[in-house]
Amino acid sequence: MNLGAVKGFLDIGMVPVLGGDIVQDAEMGFSVGSGDQVAAILAEELGVTDLVFATDVDGVYDSDPKKNPGERLIPEVNLSRGVAFASSTNGDASGAMKGKIGALTDLTPEIEAGLNVAIISMMEPGRLSRLLHRKHVTSTRIKV
């Protein structure tokens, strides 16, 4: 992945907003390159201290909280067992929660070295700011 443009924007103080897209795939012809995969690659290549997946739910649950109100939020997920908790893709081409957890598997050394990874809801104003200022927010933290 050529990160020249991203690094250039960062060098001049801009924060590029990126997402996924359809990408060329040697085996299938094309596939979905998810924003979650892009975020994991950027975290690894740029040596960031925090990686945040912003969603419309508070984090990883026992099952889909939209379909099953009252489900339990899992405040911490061990990466080696995380896909079991987030087994449903819910028809999302990027893999939904399972895709987020799966995108992190290559970041095990970075997480072990201190990379903070959280899945949070962006439906509450100020939540991201509080998280980045190391204040408690409802979320799921990813550990190894």
Domain architecture of the chain: domains with CATH: 4-143 (3.40.1160.10)
Q: How far apart are CA 53 and CA 142, in angstroms?
A: 11
What SS3 class is residue 112? helix
Q: What pLDDT is recorded for position 135?
A: 96
Q: What pLDDT is recorded for position 89?
A: 45
Q: Which amino acid is at 60?
A: V
Name residue 15's beta-bridge partners.
none
- State the pTM of this model: 0.82
pLDDT along the chain (144 residues), means of 10: 90 89 86 88 93 93 89 90 53 69 91 95 95 95 94
Name residue 54's beta-bridge partners.
120
Question: How far is C-alpha 34 from the geometric centre of its chain's CA atoms?
Answer: 10
pLDDT in tens, 128-143: 999 999 999 999 999 9
Q: What pLDDT is recorded for position 21?
A: 85
